[in-house]
Amino acid sequence: MFEFYPTERQFRVMHEDTTTDWKRISAGIPQRSVLGPISYLLYITDIPSNNYSMTAMFAFDTAIMTTDEDHQTATGWLQSTSFQTGQ
């Protein structure tokens, strides 16, 4: 479906007087693309929800968070959620 997107995209970060080197982007959909918002909606509708994790979204950024007194339990929940999303 997305094979027609450019594969040699690059980015760099500029902050005040400093600019990083160019880096290749190996995933994602270009900004300002027609299919960008549609593909994002398809992506977020599959994110599972449960009593152990919370999903926070802003623009096109998504974070899945969890907390527990035992870090191994919290890690297990995140890995389980990550497995369910296919990431």
pLDDT tens digits along 11-56: 888 999 999 999 987 766 666 777 777 877 777 776 766 677 777 7
pTM over 0.95: no
The pLDDT assigned to 20 comes to 94
Q: Which domain holds residue 63?
A: 48-87
- Say yes or no: 6 and 20 in one domain: yes
- Say yes or no: 33 and 54 in one domain: no
- Say yes or no: 30 and 7 in one domain: yes
- Say yes or no: 41 and 71 in one domain: no
CA distances to 63, 77, 85 from 72, in Å: 19, 9, 20
- Say yes or no: 38 and 52 in one domain: no
The pLDDT assigned to 36 comes to 75
Residues 6+ away with beta carbon under 8 Å from 25: 9, 10, 11
- Say yes or no: 9 and 23 in one domain: yes
- Say yes or no: 20 and 34 in one domain: yes
The three-class DSSP label of residue 66 is strand
The pLDDT assigned to 74 comes to 84
The pLDDT assigned to 35 comes to 75
* Residue 82 or 55, more confident: 55
- Say yes or no: 30 and 66 in one domain: no
The three-class DSSP label of residue 77 is helix
| φ and ψ of 45, to 5 deg | -70, -20
